[in-house]
A and B are shown apart, each in its own frame.
Chain A
Amino acid sequence: TQLLEQSPQFLSIQEGENLTVYCNSSSVFSSLQWYRQEPGEGPVLLVTVVTGGEVKKLKRLTFQFGDARKDSSLHITAAQPGDTGLYLCAGTISNFGNEKLTFGTGTRLTIIP
């Protein structure tokens, strides 16, 4: 059973459209990260959210952490070909001083020019 479920698995849209991808879990996270990975490269950290309900913006990307800290979304406005990549969420669970980081399986996004 995957602790972090990402949806959709694949998304292909036209340049200029808006999109939202999701990261869901039944566990409560102390923090959640979003990474983007391009072909042949390692993931690159985009943002960390910590507080329930928190919203962070990075240019055309808007990240939201759910109120209960169990889920998150990434919204991209006016998608561009440079947004193409694998988007990974990763959550940290704290358990009696033990920190465990778990990655989702990712959303593979393709922006068509």
Chain B
Amino acid sequence: NAGVTQTPKFQVLKTGQSMTLQCAQDMNHNSMYWYRQDPGMGLRLIYYSASEGTTDKGEVPNGYNVSRLNKREFSLRLESAAPSQTSVYFCASSPTTTNGKLFFGSGTQLSVL
């Protein structure tokens, strides 16, 4: 009954370091998403993958890359972390992109010093 699993739960980086956030879902969903959540800004879409083999930019894609490794896994990479990327990151999945019914992971709290 895992749903959407994100790792790591917490991470501290220095400016310029790189890292990859991992996400996997076991619900056989077609669509997967990466959001960031900042105080007063709500959830903002970074990238999404409507189906296996496709990825598209969301509202705030700069500084990030993604890989839809297979139907289950969708990773988010920060190539050169910046303090502005300090945030809580959420991965989500849904059966399709059209119904707004998202299932979220428990988040990664990232601090960039």
Contact = CB atoms under 8 A, between A and B. Distances in A.
Contacts of A99: 97-98
Contacts of B102: 33, 43, 45, 90, 101
How large, as a class, is the contact surface on chain B?
20 to 34
A2 B42 CA distance: 9
B53 interface: no
A31 B106 contact: no
B69 to A, nearest CB: 21
Interface string A85-112: 0001011100000010101111000000
Q: Give chain A's interface secondary structure class.
A: strand
A92 B105 contact: no
Contact of A92 (B45, B92, B100, B103): B100
How large, as a class, is the contact surface on chain A?
20 to 34
Given A42-B104, A45-B102, A92-B100, 18 more contacts: A4-B42, A32-B100, A40-B107, A41-B106, A42-B4, A42-B92, A42-B105, A43-B43, A43-B104, A44-B104, A48-B99, A90-B102, A99-B98, A103-B42, A103-B43, A103-B44, A104-B42, A105-B40
Interface of B: 4, 40-45, 90, 92, 97-107
Interface of A: 2, 4, 31-33, 40-45, 48, 88, 90-92, 99, 101, 103-106
